[in-house]
Structure 1
Amino acid sequence: MSKATETVLEIDLRALEHNYLYLKGRLRPETGFLGVVKAFAYGSDSIIIAKKLEALGVDYLAVAYAKEGVVLRDAGIRTPILVLHPLPVNFDEMIECCLEPSLYSQKILEGFLEAAKRKVQKDYPVHLKFNTGLNRLGFVGSDVDYLAAQLNGREELKVASILSHLAASEDLNEKAFTQNQIEAFEKISVKIHKKLDARPFRHLLNTSGIINNPEAQYDMVRSGIGLYGFGNDVKIDKQLRPVATLKTVISQIHSIAPGESIGYNRAFVTHSPRVTATLPIGHADGIGRQYGNGKAHVTIRGNKAPIVGNVCMDMIMVDITDIDCQEGDEVIIFGGNHTANEFARDAATISYELLTGISQRVKRKILSE
């Protein structure tokens, strides 16, 4: 990896490939794999990540909203793309771009059916989302008769798959709850295969489900955070490689006398002589105010430098009193030995929030073979 001369998010495609092959290796050979690339591929670069996953042979990609899928299609991605949370305003564009909706309510189903009629579609692939306990989106088991009445004999739509989403697969204390979800999905699957003319494939597991519930892998699994290097389990994290490393540089060094304050609202006041470094990254770049005032630290020449004072919009200040460094030196915000998971945990949040919050104004640098 090269030295940073500005704030940059390095995206390591070698790590992505390693993670994909590791997760695939935990599955049956015939089990399909869906790579989740929503939210700019968890804050990295959705086009670059999707192209790499396509080259690796993923069966599906998934985004949250139609606009994300349109961007991928415009970039030349041809792999099937599942839209997890489609909205009626985007139905026509989705059809034009061959994006496959996850249908989760009567309104969404009937609206998409009408759009498919208007666009004169035949066997357009759709997916039926069932709520088995997350209570976020989805039909319920008692909707199967309604779905059969709406879809059987229709030439406009073809049900490609049915899916649900586990609520707590990473929490082994919730194994009973997860098992209840798996059993509920199994009952729905049996009923769907009896009532529906089509015989859709099935997918339920997320990254933690792949790790903890491989018996329920069905026909395909979906992985998001695992592809980017985090398995919600310390043992699994050691087997994965973080894809993203956030780096910056020291802009200026200050010697601070006792009794002086640092940053907005005088949130930090020195009690002894201190030396601080100002870094060109702030909450507009995704390092929120919750990381300030000693909650989190960065790494400079292998040493921990805690963030002092409030995080500013475009800058943070760190304590380098005991670190031999100079202006222009590289700073690791997260990555390497101090992962995004650890950085986030210091401020009582999660890697998902930190990674997806990295601003698009931060330069992306792609590391490949």
Structure 2
Amino acid sequence: MVMDSGAIAWVLASTALVMIMTPGVGFFYGGLVRKKNFIDMITLSFVAFALVSIQWVLIGYSLAFGPDVGGFIGNLQYLGLNGVGMDPGPYSTAIPGLLYMVFQLVFATVTMAIVTSGFAERIKFSAYLVFALLWTTIVYDPLAHWVWGGGWTAQFGSIDFAGGTVVHISSGFAALALALVIGKRVGFGKYAMEPANIPWSILGAVLLWFGWFGFNSGSAIAANGLAVSAFVTTNTAAAAAAMTWLLVSWAHGGKPSSLGFVSGAVAGLVAITPGAGFVTPLASIVIGVVAGALCYGIMLWRQGKGIDESLDAWAVHGMGGLWGAIATGIFASAAVNGYSGLLEGNTHQFIAQIVGAGAAVIYAFVVTYILAIIVDKTIGLRVSEEEEYVGLDISQHGERA
């Protein structure tokens, strides 16, 4: 069978774009923690890329995209990439199955990187390795199967163009569960914990915005009009959310914060992800504006409750992803990709989005909470108070930024 060389080129490029997002998360988070933990945060993200890459090749891809078993998980047909090669894969006849595999691989890696928000500045590196492997296998892989691998939420009619449910809801609510299990940092709420380097966080956000074009546009799995539409909605929602967060936080705090601006951009990118290939550019403005205001408000609520999930994966990715999934059920336009939402009279699509997103919230939070407790009770999640005081750069890696 003749495959589409343009699609192959575009998905290869998109895979590279998404790859840069994983260390991009590291720089974004690294700039937000204290200087003594800067190296550790970047390392957690980059190690996630390598660790999950191996897991995905060995078993993850098969669990997520193997033939369906009971609507919950894929079977082991593709174990060790058995049968995954240069022939067209089951999910696209335009590109080799191996290319589709590696495109999905980079989604899995960046998801684990986002999760690191939940235990910033207090996780043992050895415990992180064990937890990351378990979490990717037990939480991410089943969710990917539910949505993209023919699992039960897809069967029910839930849609997710590029990972609002699979990537963002899962990682955001996982981070919240982890923060609750591992507890607050020593001194949290008692003295200031100033960011190490806001320009590094801005650079991380730039890499995320840049890579997100591959994330969303590449999910068309073709160099076509749908990829163009997703590209435009992605940029528009990010811009709308960035300006909204900037203006709302300016009105609330008295200063136009650069960190608030880039946080808003990420919130917009998150929120448009599930609907990037289903909604119009005008709808993406509304999605972005709501995301900017909503995620800012959730961040303030989290601060008020004293929850130490201070890099705000839950507020931005979890809640932004939840809004985006529901918004897709509202604004999906048949003229874009054949799917109608609530505004076009499709009530079932709206309900399917709520069911799919709600299931992801519950599954990711509950299973992550259980996994975190198991790891904590066996090998211990957290560094000692002395190691936390010294900083993870020195205590875990023997290096100084």
Tell me the TM-score normalised to structure 1 length: 0.25
Higher fraction of strand = 1
Larger Cα Rg: Structure 1 or Structure 2?
A: 1
Tell me the TM-score normalized by structure 2. Answer: 0.24
Normalized per residue, the structure richer in helix is: 2
The structure with higher relative contact order (CA 8 Å, sep 6+) is 2
